[in-house]
Structure 1
Amino acid sequence: MGVVTMIAAAAENNALGKDNDLVWHLPDDFKRFKKLTSGHHIIMGRKTFESFPKPLPNRTHIVITRKKDYKKEGAVVVHSLKEALDRAKEDSQPFIIGGGEIYHQALSMADKIELTRVHGSFEADAFFPEIDEDNWELTASEFHPKDESHNYSFTYLTYTRAQ
C-alpha cells in the first residue's frame, strides 16, 4: 500500500460543505487538487461522487456506499473504506477525497493530509475531523491571499503522521 492521503478544503470551523456542495469557489485549489490526484485512485463516499457532474478525468474513482446494488459507470463500487483501500493497493498514493463521514473513518488509516484551510467560518452540514497535533506534524504551509478570483484567503497545509 502506498501513502494514503486525505485531501480536503475545510474552513477554520472545519466546515466542508452544505447540501452536498462546497460553500466557496477557489479555482487555484481546484487546480492543485487536479495536479495532486491525477493518475491516482480517488476514494469517496457516494454523495461526494454524485456531486460531480461527471467522473473526473485521469483518475480511478472508488465509491463507498452501503447500497448493495449501487452501480455507476466510471466508478468502482465498494462497501467499506477497508475494501476501497484494498482496491487501491497498487497505487503509490491513493487519495481520500470525502465526504465528512469518510474523512472521519479514514483519519486513523491515513499517512498524510493535504488540507486547504479556508480562512473563514461557514455554516455547513459536513465537517472535516479535528487534526490532533500530537498525531500529526505540519510539514509544509503556503498562504494564498484573497484576490479577484478568490473570495477568501486560504493556506495549503501538508501534515504527515507523527512517528
Structure 2
Amino acid sequence: MKRVLLVAAVARNGVIGHGPDIPWRVPGEQAEFKKLTVGHVLVMGRTTYESIGRPLPDRTTIVLTRDPGFDPGHPEVRVARSFEAALGKAALVPEGEVIVAGGAQVYAAAMGLASELVISEIPLEPEGDVFFPRIDPSLWAEADRERFEGYDRVWYERVHEPR
C-alpha cells in the first residue's frame, strides 16, 4: 500500500475552511503545497475539488463523493465512493504517494491510515465552519518544523496506531 499523508493549512482555532473557501491568503503557502504534492496522487472531497475547479497539474486526482451522478468534467480525474476505494485506485498509479488534500470528512476518514501529517500552522483565528480533526498527541509526534513568512509547516509522524 502506498504511504498516506494528510496535508492541510490549519488556523490556530482548527479552521480549514469557511464553506468552500479558505478564509485567508498566506503568500507562498500554496507554492509550498504544490512543491510537496507534484508527482503524487491527490485525494480530495467533491467540495474541495469543486472549489479548485479543475485537476491540479502534474498530479493524479481522485475525488471522493457519495453522489453517483457526479461528473468531474475531466476524463483524467478518477471518482471514488469511499476512502478505501480511493486507495485502491491510487494503487494503480505507478508513482507517488497518496496525499489527502481535504476537506474535513476526507481528513477524518483518512486519519487512521495516515503515516504522516504535514500541517501549515496559520497564526490566525478566522471565522469558519470546516475544521481539521484533532491531532491526538498520544498518536502523533512533531518530527520537523519549517518556518516560513506567515506560517510554520509542521511534520508529524505517527507514534502509535489508533485503537
TM-score (norm 2): 0.91
SS where residue 7 of structure 2 aligns? strand
> Which residue of structure 2 aligns with residue 154 of structure 1?
151
> Which residue of structure 1 aligns with residue 8 of structure 2?
8
Alignment length (residue pairs)? 156
The partner residue of 1:77 within 76, 79, 97 is 79
Q: How does 1:136-147 map to 2 (within 5 A)?
A: 136-145=140-149
Q: How does 1:1-163 map to 2 (within 5 A)?
A: 1-72=1-72, 73=74, 74-89=76-91, 90-145=94-149, 153-163=150-160
Q: CA deviation at 1:53?
A: 3.2
Contact 2:41 2:96 in 1 (8 A): no
In structure 1, how many angstroms separate the alpha carbons of the residues matched to 2:95 and 2:81? 19
Cα deviation digits, residues 52-110 of structure 1 (max 9, x gap): 13221011110000011212214101100010011112444110000011111111111
Which sits farther off after the overlay, 112-121 or 87-96? 87-96
SS where residue 66 of structure 1 aligns? coil
> Which residue of structure 2 aligns with residue 149 of structure 1?
none
Unaligned 5+ segments in structure 1 are: 146-152
Amino acid at match of 1:67: D
In structure 1, how many angstroms separate the alpha carbons of the residues matched to 2:53 and 2:81? 22
Contact 2:6 2:117 in 1 (8 A): yes
Which sits farther off after the overlay, 43-52 or 102-111? 102-111
Q: CA deviation at 1:143?
A: 2.0
Contact 1:2 1:91 in 2 (8 A): no
**Aligned-residue CA RMSD (Å):** 1.2
Identity over aligned residues, as a percent? 34
SS where residue 86 of structure 2 aligns? helix
Which sits farther off after the overlay, 119-128 or 88-97? 88-97
In structure 2, how many angstroms separate the alpha carbons of the residues matched to 1:159 and 1:2? 18
SS where residue 27 of structure 1 aligns? coil
Amino acid at match of 1:51: S
SS where residue 6 of structure 2 aligns? strand
> Which residue of structure 2 aligns with residue 150 of structure 1?
none
